[in-house]
Amino acid sequence: MAGSPFHVVIVGGGISGLSTAFFVMEEAKKYGVAIQCTVVERDARWGGKILTNRLPNLLIEGGPDSFLTSKPWAMDLCRTLGLEDQLISTVVENNRTFSLSRGVLRELPQGLLAFRPQRVDTLVSGGLLSWGGLLRMGAERFWPQSSRGQSEETLGSFFRRRFGAAAFDYLIEPLVAGIYAGDADELSLEATFPRFKELEQKYGSVIKGMRVAQAKAKVGVSPKPSGSPSSLFMTLRNGLGTLTETLIQRLTGQGVHLMTGCGCREVQPSPHNKKKFSVVLENETSLDTDAVVLATPAFRTAQMILQLEPQVSSLLEDIPYTSTATISLAYPTEAVESCIQGYGFVVPRKEKRPLLACTWTSLKWTNRSLKGETLIRCYVGGRGREEILECEDTQLIDLVRRELQDIVGITSSPNYTEVHRWVQGMPQYVVGHQARVAKIKDLLLSRPTLQICGAGLNGIGIPDCIREGNRVAETLIQSFSSRVEA
C-alpha cells in the first residue's frame, strides 16, 4: 500500500455497519489501498438488533434468532470469519408450524414459510381453511392475471386477488406480519416479494410458476452446491451475538477505531477540503473523513444529513417504522411439554388478539436451554398495534401468559422472564418504497463517498444487510483506487 490512508467513518454499529467495516478492510487489502477506518455507535454495546443474552441455563435472543439460508451472504460471512463449525440448523423432527384459526391451532403446510408449500393435504385435514376457502385458493391457477401496466400493488391486494380472502387471512397475512411486523394492506408487493409478481406475469399463475420451479430443482437444473444447508433457517450455536463479537475482534485486530456511547449529530462538508466530510459527534467533537457510511435507521440518517442533502433527508424521513417487543419465558419442561409441539405458531390479524406469534425456542433449536427447562419466545406489537408497547414489562409478561394459557393451556408460572423492546425498530416497505430508494440513489450519484445502507432501504434481513455492506465497501474502495491511480 502507498500514500496517505483514506479515512472512512461508519456511523452505526449494528450488523450493517460492522459488516461494512469488515468488507472495507478486506477490499482495501485486495486493491492495495491504505485505509483508516472508524466505526461510531451511540449505544453502549455493539450489534444493534442482534442481542444475545447467555445465562447459565438459557440462551436468549432479544432480536432475530436466525437468518435465511436462501440468501447466501450471512452464511458466506460466517464461513469467512471461521464460524462454519458453529452453524446449526433447526431441529428437523419438530418441523411443524401452526396458525391460530377460529380460536384453534391448525397446522400450516410445510414449506409455506418459504412460500413453497409441500404438504397441501395438511390444509385439507387440518381445517385451517373452509372448503370454500380451499376451492378459491385452488382456483388460483385459472384466475386472470393483472395487466402488465397495472400500478404498484400491496401484498394484501395481490394475495386476496390471487388466492382469495380466506387464504390471505389465515396463511399469508400472519407470515407477512411475522417477517415485517407490518400491515399487508400497506406493504408493497414489489418491495417485499417481487418474485410472486414475476411468476404471475410469466406463467399466469403463482402456483403454476412455483411448481415449474420445484420441478426444475428436482431434475437438477440448478444443482445444489456441496455443503449447502438443507434448513431454511440457520443460527450460531452460541447465539447470533457470536457473529457481531467475532466481527469486533477481527476489526480490532485490523486496527479499526471502534467508538461506543457517542453517536453522530450531523454530517457536514469539511471546512478544510471540499472533497471531504466532517462528522460532528454528539459530544461536539468532529472527525474529518474522506468517506462517510451511514448505517443507521432511515429517520436517524435523515437528521444527520438534513443540511447536507435536504432532498435525500426528506425521502428518508418518509420511510415509516413500527415498534415490536419480544418476551422470553422459561418454564419447567414437565409443566409445558404436553401443551406444545412443533416450532410454534402465528396469529392472524383477523383473530384480533394481542399476540403476533410464539416460538417454542427449545423445540426449534438445540442448546437454548438445559434439560428440564423449556424456553418460549412471544412477539407483540407491529404496524397498527404499537400501543401495546405502552405497557410496563410486567404487564407485557402477564399479557402473553394469559395468551399462552388461552391458546395452548399453559397455566404454570415461568421460572424466568426477559423483555426486549424495539421502538421504531422495523422499517416498513410500503407502496412507493422502491421508487423512493431509486430517487435516493440518483440524488447521491454525485457523492460516491457518502453512502447509506441498513435495513431501511434494501432488505430487512441479516443477509440483506451484509450484502449491502459488501456493496458499499466495494464502491468506496474502487473510488479510492481510481484516485490513487489518477
pLDDT tens track for 284-325:
899 999 999 999 999 999 999 999 999 999 999 999 999 999
Look up cell 456441496; give the residue. 226
Query: Where are the domains positioned within the chain?
Result: 2-45+246-319+429-485, 52-93+321-427, 129-218
Compute φ and ψ for 302, nearest 5 degrees: -55, -40
Q: Residues 223, 230: contact at Cβ < 8 Å?
A: no
User: What letter would DSSP give residue 466?
Assistant: H
d(CA 83, CA 288) in angstroms, rounded, equals: 35
Domain 2-45+246-319+429-485, what fold?
FAD/NAD(P)-binding domain (3.50.50)
pTM over 0.75: yes
pLDDT at 466 over 80: yes
- Looking at the DSSP bridge assignments, the partners of residue 374 are 331
What average pLDDT score do residues 44-51 get? 97
Mention every residue, 6+ apart, whose C-beta is less than 8 A from residue 131.
none
129-218: CATH number: 1.10.3110.10
Domain 52-93+321-427 has CATH 3.40.50.300: no
What average pLDDT score do residues 449-457 get? 96
What average pLDDT score do residues 361-376 get? 96
- Select, from the ranges 104-108, 152-156, 174-178, 327-331, the one with the highest average predicted confidence (pLDDT): 327-331
pLDDT at 1 over 50: no
C-alpha cell read off for 10? 461508519
Residue 246 burial (CB count, 10 A): 19
Question: What 3-state class would DSSP assign to 37?
Answer: strand
